[in-house]
Structure 1
Amino acid sequence: MNSIRHKIFLAISFFILLIFLGVVVYHYFSHFSWVDALYMTVITITTVGFGEVHPLTDMDKVFTVVLIFLSIGIYGYGVSIVSEFILNNRIFENIINKRMENKIKSFNNHIILAGYGRVGKTILNKLSSYDKQVVVIEKNMDELNENHIKSKNIVFLNEDATKDEVLLKAGIKRAKTMMISLGDDADNLFIVLTARQLNPSIRIISRATNMTIKKKLKLAGSNQVILPYKIGGEYMASLLVSPDLVEFMQQLSMEERNVKTNLEEISFEDCPVEFHNKSIAELHLRKRTGCTVIGFKKPNGEYVINPEPSTKIIKDSNIIVLGQVDQIKKLNELLNIKA
């Protein structure tokens, strides 16, 4: 960078020196006034061709030719420096990165996804269908999904997620959730440790390849650890045992939100103040929105299926509701949650 700045300084210096040389020669040797000498020098080195202010002698013409060749050489030198500056500093890439950084700064309570492989793309498909703000970190972005690129809520960082500065650039201190889906367990473990250190309150969901790594990821600070191969095997077995039930549950979690029914998870923090410490019966959700409460998550993480109407919405608890799309929309409007 300093070398290029030095070259730029030299090019400007040569250009100023050339003007000085032309003015001095035209004034003292061709007997032009200072203004005419400056004018003659400028129209010569810029090759605009306005014509001479006075008839030129043979020596004047020779000097003018030399002045033109010198100016062309300096112009060429300047163009090469500018080209080198653009190529070495990736100026256009820097502009794009700056825009991405500004967009990330506008995100709050967003999701950071480390890894854009097969698992990562599947995760992003699901998140984008719910208009979630996502920052994707991936070193090798060879095949980007066109819909993901066009999405206003998705930002890609072509960086290494194991680096602290990259996670900070992704806004980890403002993020709500970190999802780690790299293919290397060691990298996943390192990112979990780093993310937990940078943001102690962030929710971390990580991918693992076996139970041993799952335990280590839990100890490192991951809230949840997913084993894709285990889930895939259980899903295939469930299709044999209870295919209709599996298909029904799949309909409730379709990627596109154009299905008739859907599940929604509402946390204590999402609820307005008047809902806090109230029982499910007192909320009158069925009457007000048409949604049915089918599950309750206790602060200790225990789930209750079909909770009693007397169950109270307390801190760190969640309720799970089932409803049609328009009913879920009414629920979100009631709770002032962006759908």
Structure 2
Amino acid sequence: MSYSRNKPSSLSRLTQHLDVIRQRFRKTIINSNVAYAALLIIGVVVIGSLGYSLLEGWSLLDSVYATIITITTVGYGDLTPETPAGRVFSIFFTLIAIGVAGYALSTVAVLVIEHQQIRVKQMMEERKMKHIADLNDHIILCGGGYIGKRVAHELYQTDTPFVIIEPDENILRWTLLYLHQDYVAKKLRQFHHLDYVQSDTTEYERQDIAELAEHVGVLYLQEDNTDDAALMRAGIERARGLITTMEDDRDNLFTVLSARQLAKHLNNPRLRIISRLVDEPNKRKLRAAGADAIVSPNVMGGFQIASSLLQPEVAAYWDYILSECEETVRFIELYTDHHPELIGQTVSEIRERYNRIVIAIKRNGNYIHVPDLATVTEKADILIAVGTL
């Protein structure tokens, strides 16, 4: 009795297993071009073998042999159809077989190429993550876009190690392109000269993100820049600074808060956080979240626009050293505690020996503006100078 009760249950389970296998097989066939091509080849072999066997009366071995040499276009000539029906069948079968064989070959070739591309991308990703893991005392840049690419360019020009975190592929691509010297040179020629010659830059713009980043030599994470996990993968525990340049103060605020909490949790109190400010009322919130400095591009842009009118040559020179000058001229801060050789030197001696023009000295919390050439530097001074990097 127990056997009769269990039998339907066993058959039901077997039927279910077979149905699952059938569905998986069907799904695999539908989703796999290789499996589909293999089925086509098998179908062609079966049809060809049956056709030759029935129409020509050949043995199964001879029929399969004739089918294979037809598919592979070898055509030894030792087996040829003799009946009119066999010849007509051979004409149509040869056309179909060659088409199927070409499709199968191209499918396999695509599979091999795709597999190789995936492997190359995996290797590039592993190499990138290893480089990020080796970074120390670097900068994490959260956000690309108009402001982010300018920040990235300045870090790139000054040889400062950094990691870009940007989830949007298009924004990330334009940020990386802004660091590509050949691309920028072509764009500058197009913008600055009125010869109306359009430079072809599609080669760079269509390049894969990973290849573009490796060519430029920049590390990136195409991830959510407000995610704690992304900040940790970027090495926030070893970073000396983090910059947020997103267009929404809420994203900047969330990132600043997360970064400050992670820095405390991971014992990195030296992390300096700089945040972009979009709306002035949010400045207090960003400061409370842990931002060390808050910069408003609107304020800086307004100042530069006014300067372009009031002091055009100063503004023109500033624009020149930022965009066209072959040398990297920048404001530099020098700590005498870090450079003890500067202690006891006069401003004039620093200019002659180190090619640095001191324009201000911060001493005991106060600034000495345009110090006299005979001013002697002291311990704990911070020198604000102009020079080349």
- Give, in whole Å, the separation in 2 of the partners of 1:73 and 1:239: 69
Cα shift at 1:27: 8.8
Q: Is the 8 A contact 2:225 2:231 kept in 1?
A: yes
- The 8 Å contact of residues 147 and 245 in structure 2, kept in 1 or not, is answered as yes
Aligned residues: 306
Q: Which residue of 2 aligns with 1:289?
A: 354
The answer to whether structure 1 residue 56 and structure 2 residue 125 are counterparts is no
1:69 pairs, out of 78, 96, 121, with: 96
1:192 aligns with 2:256: yes
Q: Distance in 2 between matches of 1:297 and 1:94?
A: 54
1:114 equivalent in alignment to 2:179: no
Rg comparison, structure with higher value? 2
**Contact 2:143/2:244 (8 A) holds in 1:** yes
Whether the aligned pair in 1 keeps the contact of 2:249 and 2:279 (CA below 8 Å) is: no
From 171, 174, 188, the counterpart of 1:144: 174
C-alpha displacement of 1:185: 0.7
Alignment match, 2:69: 43
Task: Tell me which amino acid in the other structure corresponds to 1:11.
Answer: Y
| Code of the aligned partner of 2:343 | I
Partner Cα distance (1:260, 1:111) in 2: 19
CA distance in 1, matches of 2:223, 2:255: 13
Matched, 1:264 2:292: no
Aligned residue number for residue 334 of structure 1: none
Contact preservation (8 Å) 2:242, 2:273: yes
What is the Cα deviation at residue 92 of structure 1? 6.9
- Name the CA distance, whole Å, in 2 between partners of 1:73 and 1:147: 47
The range that moved more, 208-217 or 97-106, is 97-106
Determine what percentage of the aligned residue pairs are the same residue.
Answer: 25
Structure 1: unaligned runs, 5 residues or longer: 326-338
Alpha-carbon distance, 1:238 to partner: 7.0
1:265: Cα distance to partner?
2.9
Structure 1 pair 73–255 and aligned structure 2 pair: CA distance change class (3 A): closer
Q: Please give the residue correspondences for 1:1-339 in structure 2 after superposition, counting only pairs within 5 Å.
A: 6-8=31-33, 10-11=35-36, 13-14=38-39, 17-18=42-43, 21=46, 30-31=58-59, 39-46=65-72, 48-58=73-83, 61=87, 64=90, 65-66=92-93, 69=96, 72-73=99-100, 76=103, 99=124, 102-103=127-128, 105-106=130-131, 108=135, 109-136=137-164, 137=166, 139=168, 141=170, 144=174, 147-150=178-181, 152-154=216-218, 160-164=224-228, 166-167=230-231, 175-199=239-263, 201=268, 202-233=271-302, 243=311, 250=318, 254-258=322-326, 262-266=330-334, 275=339, 280-281=343-344, 288-291=353-356, 302=365, 304-305=367-368, 309-312=377-380, 319-323=383-387, 325=388, 339=389
Q: Distance in 2 between matches of 1:172 and 1:57?
A: 79
2:359 & 2:343 partners in 1: Cα distance? 11
Deviations 1:242-265 (A, max 9, x none): 849965994896444447964323
Give the Cα–Cα distance (whole angstroms) in 2 for the partners of residues 4 and 173 of structure 1. Answer: 45
Give the Cα–Cα distance (whole angstroms) in 2 for the partners of residues 249 and 98 of structure 1: 44
| 1:261/1:224 CA distance change after superposition, 3 Å | closer
Structure with bigger helix share is 2
**1:11-61 deviation digits (Å, cap 9, x = unpaired):** 3652563487479767996237x5x66653332223x25343223343755
The answer to whether the Cα contact below 8 Å between 1:22 and 1:37 also exists between their aligned partners in 2 is no
TM-score by length of 2: 0.55
Q: Does structure 2 conserve the Cα–Cα contact (< 8 Å) formed by 1:104 and 1:135?
A: no
Q: Which runs of 5+ in 2 are unaligned?
A: 1-23, 183-215
Give distance in 1, aligned partners of 2:286 and 2:128: 31
